[in-house]
Structure 1
Amino acid sequence: MKDAFLAVDAGNTKTWAGVTTADGELLGLARGGVGDIYAPAGPEAAKSVVLGLVGDVLDSAGLQSSDIRHAAFRLAGVDWPVDGEFWEAALPFGSFSVKNDGFALIRCGRLDGQGISVVLGTGAALAGRGPVKEWALSWWLQHPLGGAGLVSEALRAVYLAELGLGESTKLGAVLPPLFGASTPEEMLETTTRRGNTVSFASLAAHAPSVLALIDDDPVVAGLVETQTERLADYIETLARTCGLTDPVTVVVGGGLVREPEAPLFTALRRTCSRRELVLDLQHTHDPALLGALLDAIAEGGADPTEIARTRLTQKLK
């Protein structure tokens, strides 16, 4: 039997697990819920999701954990050594790695695993790998980024406008109904009172409605511009810290930038160009699980090839 490699990509909205051979034959695939140990449900719930999916994908492939040559876990919430230790104690494999989910997309840009990934989904995850070091910046991101960050800032813009401290914005009419409210004041109470059900995922779900106003509302355009300026700052920091040389490969993907024409990706390209950053800025449709599977192959001692990537891409569409 060919060597098998397993990968898990866990986020704040969904988690994917897959098993592949080194030449890109997808042996099993499973999908589940939130796998972030920092999510409201807590670490035990995240562990249950991840381990459940591992069991499901091994069953679908007709394999045991002992059949896996190497496993790569790319998990939201792996921010500190203690987080890695939590997972290392729970995972039933002899050879595996645990890293922040920000690393998952890097091999979607370059098969050698060098470069920077920018994952924009419910939140944002950024990571870089170069000749000097690899580094995940996700836990540094104090600024609101990704879909949840964009909507959080949009809510703030509405409240500032109501107070006469910010520009008037169409968001004041668009956002309240999305939160079951009729006025900005009612929306503020709905989203902040005790027992409210607002989460990162529920905020991010309204990001498309905010982005739809980008051409008609200067406030929204400004929010997008601010997010891309912050992303460009982090890209520069990662490139410098990881020892990456120009042109730096930066691969961008995630639910908030599904298409190359997505407003946030277009704005990021414009920002990086204006700042004269020397980048190979790539948009990818590929799911982060693809990069995680390629990581598993590489870390397991096999060379991921273009043929393997192509085969996996076709199966994961």
Structure 2
Amino acid sequence: MKDVFLAVDAGNTKTWAGLTTADGELVGLARGGVGDIYAPAGAEAAKAVVLSLVGDVLDSAGLSPSDIKHAAFRLAGVDWPADAQFWSATLEPRFSDLSIKNDGFALIRCGRLDGQGISVVLGTGAALAGRGPAKEWALSWWLQHPLGGAGLVGEALRAVYLSELGLGESTKLTAVLPPLFGVSTPEEMLELTTKRENTFSFATLAAHAPSVLALIEDDAVVAQLVDTQASRLADYIVSLAGSCGLEEPVTVVAGGGLLREPGAPVFAALRRTCENRELNLDLQHTQDPALVGALLDALAEGGAQPTEAVRSRLSEAARAHG
């Protein structure tokens, strides 16, 4: 039987588990809910999601944990040593050869197969990580600004409220956002999203990011919000590159729901910002799901060095499954 490798990409919106052979054949795939131990449902709920998906994908291929050559777990919320210990206690009894890292690392090999470089993943939130000669580092709680879809919409709400107070520019967001929340006015929207026992989450906010971005050509406030997020991302990229000891040009691979399309406004703004600052980067865009990078990690860590052909095969198969 061919060696089989397992990867899990767990996020704060959805979680994927996949199985691949050394030649890039995707032999199993499963998708589920939130696998982030910091999510409102809690660590035990995240553990249940991850273990259920692992069980599902193994069952679909007729395999058991002992059949896995190497497993790469890329999990949102692996931010501190205690988080890694939580997952180690859960997973090490099941798998003899595995790695557990923050989900920010998952996309790096979609940029460079040797696993060196920086990943920028923008979905509901943001995950940035780097790996170089000096060290590997996921920024996690070091990210000090609202980023990703939820960050963008949160800043859009702030812009509306400041405009209403006469402290900010007039913006079309004032008319666009309240109906998206099922109300008529900014005041009703503010009450709805801040009152006791409100049910709004990062995912709820992020769902409205496309509506905000749709105004970028017609609203200076929205354009500024996007440029601000791009500028902050560039700052973090520079910090990561220096901390990880990466040599120029630094490979930066960007993906995730907010950057999924090649013409994504935030990616265009990031490229423009990096060019204006004359940063020596190889800035790449990928439409690959982060699971592809996690599978490449599983192969590389398990002794089966992935090739471009393997990456292409996994990419095609993963995209076909959405």
Shift of 1:34: 0.4
Q: Look up the match of 1:272.
A: 274
- Runs of 4+ aligned structure 1 residues displaced above 2 Å come to none
Partners of 1:310 and 1:205 in 2: CA distance: 30
Q: Does 1:8 align with 2:25?
A: no
Aligned match of 1:88: 88
The amino acid that maps onto 1:172 is T
1:167 to 166, 169, 182: 169
Q: 2:148 and 2:15 mapped to 1: Cα distance? A: 17
Residue 43 of structure 1: how far off its partner (Å): 0.5
Give the letter aligned to residue 298 of structure 2: A
Q: Secondary structure at the match of 1:215?
A: coil
Structural mapping, 1:1-317, within 5 Å: 1-91=1-91, 92-317=94-319
Letter in 1 for 2:125: G
SS, match of residue 79 in structure 1: coil
CA distance in 1, matches of 2:69, 2:141: 30
User: Residue type matched to 2:236 in 1?
Assistant: Y
1:181 is displaced (CA, Å) by 1.1
Distance 1:199 1:34 in 2: 13
Structure 1 spans left out of the alignment, 5+ residues: none
Report Cα offsets for 1:121-164 as digits up to 9, x if no partner.
00000000011110001221120000000000000010001111
SS at match of 2:176: helix
Shift of 1:74: 0.5
How many Å separate the matches in 2 of 1:308 and 1:59?
24
**Amino acid of the structure 1 residue aligned with 2:57:** V
Letter of the 2:117 counterpart? G
CA–CA separation in structure 1 for the residues paired with 2:54 and 2:227: 40
Residue aligned with 1:286, SS: coil
Spell out, residue by residue over 1:49-74, the C-alpha distance to the aligned partner (whole angstroms, 9 max, x if none): 00000000000111100001110010
Partner deviation per Cα, 1:212-231 (whole Å, 9 max, x = no partner): 11111111111111100100
What is the alpha-carbon distance in structure 1 between the residues aligned to residue 286 and residue 308 of structure 2?
A: 15
Relative to the length of structure 1, the TM-score reads 0.99
Opposite residue 225 of structure 2, the aligned amino acid is L
Using the alignment, how far apart are the partners of 1:55 and 1:226 within structure 2? 42
Tell me, what secondary structure is at the counterpart of 2:311?
Answer: helix
| Paired amino acid for 1:14 | K
Cα deviation for residue 3 of structure 1 reads 1.0
Number of positions where the alignment pairs a residue of Structure 1 with one of Structure 2 = 317
Alpha-carbon distance in 1 for matches of 2:316, 2:269: 29
Amino acid at match of 2:12: N
Counterpart of 2:82, as a letter, is: V
Residue identity in the other structure for 2:97: S
1:119 partner amino acid: V
> Residues of 2 paired with 1:30 and 1:148: CA distance?
26
Distance in 2 (alpha carbons) for counterparts of 1:261 and 1:310: 21
Q: Find the aligned partners of 2:314 and 2:219 in 1 and give their Cα distance.
A: 41
Q: By how many angstroms is 1:258 displaced?
A: 1.3
Which residue identity lines up with residue 46 of structure 1 in the other structure?
Answer: A
SS in 2 for 1:98: strand
Q: Among the aligned pairs, what percent are the same residue? A: 81
Deviation per residue, 1:262-284 (Å, 9 max, x gap): 11100000000001001110000
Q: TM-score, normalised by structure 2?
A: 0.98
What secondary structure does 1:84 align onto?
helix
Letter in 1 for 2:112: R
Report the secondary structure of 2:314's partner residue.
Answer: helix
Matches of 2:310 and 2:283, distance apart in 1: 23
- CA deviation after TM superposition for structure 1 residue 239, in Å: 0.5
Gaps of at least 5 residues in structure 2 are none
SS in 1 for 2:114: coil
